[in-house]
Amino acid sequence: MANSNLPRRIIKETQRLLSEPAPGISASPSEDNMRYFNVMILGPTQSPYEGGVFKLELFLPEEYPMAAPKVRFLTKIYHPNIDKLGRICLDILKDKWSPALQIRTVLLSIQALLSAPNPDDPLSENIAKHWKSNEAEAVETAKEWTRLYASGV
Amino acid sequence: MTIGSGGSAIVALSTWNCKSALFYHFFFFFLSAVPRNFRLLEELERGEKGIGDGSVSYGMDDADDIYMRSWTGTIIGPHNTVHEGRIYQLKLFCDKDYPEKPPSVRFYSRINMACVNHETGAVEAKKFGMLAHWQREFTMDNVLTQLRKEMAASQNRKLVQPPEGTHF
């Protein structure tokens, strides 16, 4: 019943997310709000986040797909493009959004952001400074935070 | 928000009544209501940009609290009242069930006002309609703005006030 008013595109995307999940990513809609997804992303191998399980939340606003999904990390993470509240600095979530993109591409991009932190376009100034001044040490901190906060359920 | 966009659906219902309003409300709530955390992120961003003429404002207390529960609000006393020139600080607490349930609201700056508990500073829902008849679309901005209006209401505008700068 509730699904009948959900745009076909969202239903399709959801079905595909559930039947063919992207490697290292899971996304499932919440029972009481089909536009709200619980997301898990595994830290990519050979990144400081390897071994971590990161929880995120994603919401498809009324205007989706004309407007980007809203996404944030719920698990604490040490990353120059993610702030204390888990907000993510990623162009496709802002001005580079296109309706041709999907939930899947957004989550894959976030996974890729974990492999390639970009301290030149920071959201967390302090973490970016750390990254630029002493990358090895910043990576160590990121690994430690992964152990502390993202070591799985 | 969600409710507004469904306006045409309301008109289309020939047997519109309170029951269907209730149904409609739940229907859209389950479908696409902005979830708590994203709603609070929106409020946070709005608060950071600054609201209207600046006579009310708010911000988050603990930048590390991922659930964004504790907030401080500020109201500048309205003109032509005993509150003029005063700046009132309040504490707002948005629990896990916000915005389905209202935030709890408490004055930190002492104030003498009909809807405010004289001992604790808490805004009492039964004397402040917005909290008693809370709707999910209401925001912290709305609460502060309404409280400011309340300060200028006839029962409050001339009440003798405690010394400025004192706290509950």
Backbone angles phi, psi at B94, to 5 degrees: -105, 105
Contacts of B66 in chain A (CB under 8 A): 74, 76, 84-86
Q: Are residues B70 and B4 in the same domain?
A: no
Q: Is A89 annotated as catalytic?
A: yes
Name the residue range of residue B39's domain: 35-151
Is B160 part of a structural domain of the chain? no
Domain of residue B64, CATH code: 3.10.110.10
**Of residues A6, A61, A74, nearest to B66 (C-beta):** A74
Q: Are residues B66 and B14 in the same domain?
A: no
Choose the mutation target among B37, B62, B64, B137 for the interface with A, i.e. most A CBs under 10 Å: B37
Is B164 part of a structural domain of the chain? no
CB–CB contact B66 A86 (8 Å): yes
Tell me the mean pLDDT in the region A143-149: 97
Q: Is B94 on the interface with A (CB under 8 A)?
A: no
Please tell me the predicted confidence (pLDDT) of residue A153.
Answer: 56
The tokens describing B149, both together, are 């209006």
Please tell me the predicted confidence (pLDDT) of residue B19.
Answer: 53
CA B74-B80-B86 angle, 5° bins:
30
CB–CB contact A62 B2 (8 Å): yes
For residue A76, give how far its alpha carbon lies from the nearest alpha carbon of chain B (Å).
Answer: 9
CB–CB contact B31 A2 (8 Å): yes
* Rounded Cα gap, residues B158 and B82, in angstroms: 6
3-class secondary structure, B36:
helix
Query: Residue B52's pLDDT band (boundaries 50, 70, 90)?
Result: confident
CB–CB contact A36 B66 (8 Å): no
Query: Residue B36's pLDDT band (boundaries 50, 70, 90)?
Result: very high
CB–CB contact B31 A5 (8 Å): yes
- Angle at which helix B140-151 crosses helix B36-49, to 10 degrees, equals 60
Q: Are residues B20 and B39 in the same domain?
A: no
Q: Is B12 on the interface with A (CB under 8 A)?
A: no
Q: Is B37 on the interface with A (CB under 8 A)?
A: yes
Please tell me the predicted confidence (pLDDT) of residue B8.
Answer: 39
CB–CB contact B35 A33 (8 Å): yes
User: Of A89, A92, A101, A108, which one is the catalytic site residue?
Assistant: A89
Q: Is B35 on the interface with A (CB under 8 A)?
A: yes
Say whether pLDDT at B72 is over 80.
Answer: yes
pLDDT digits (tens, 9 = 90+) for B15-30: 455 555 555 555 554 4
How many domains is chain B partitioned into structurally? 2
C-beta neighbour count of B43 within 10 angstroms: 20
Whole-prediction pTM: 0.85
A2-149 under CATH 3.40.50.720, yes or no: no
pLDDT digits (tens, 9 = 90+) for B96-112: 999 999 999 999 999 99
Locate the domains of chain A by residue range. 2-149
Q: Are residues B26 and B71 in the same domain?
A: no
CA proximity to A102, closest of A129, A64, A132: A64
Is B8 part of a structural domain of the chain? yes
Is B165 part of a structural domain of the chain? no
Ranges A38-47, A64-73, A115-124: which has the least confidence = A115-124
> Which amino acid is located at B105 in the chain?
V
CA proximity to B81, closest of B105, B45, B107, B55: B55
pLDDT digits (tens, 9 = 90+) for A105-116: 999 999 999 999
Query: Residue B3's pLDDT band (boundaries 50, 70, 90)?
Result: very low
Q: Are residues B50 and B9 in the same domain?
A: no
* 3-state helix vs strand vs coil in chain A, percent to 5: 35, 15, 45
The fraction of chain A above a pLDDT of 90, given in percent, is 89
pLDDT digits (tens, 9 = 90+) for A26-58: 999 998 899 999 999 999 999 999 999 999 999
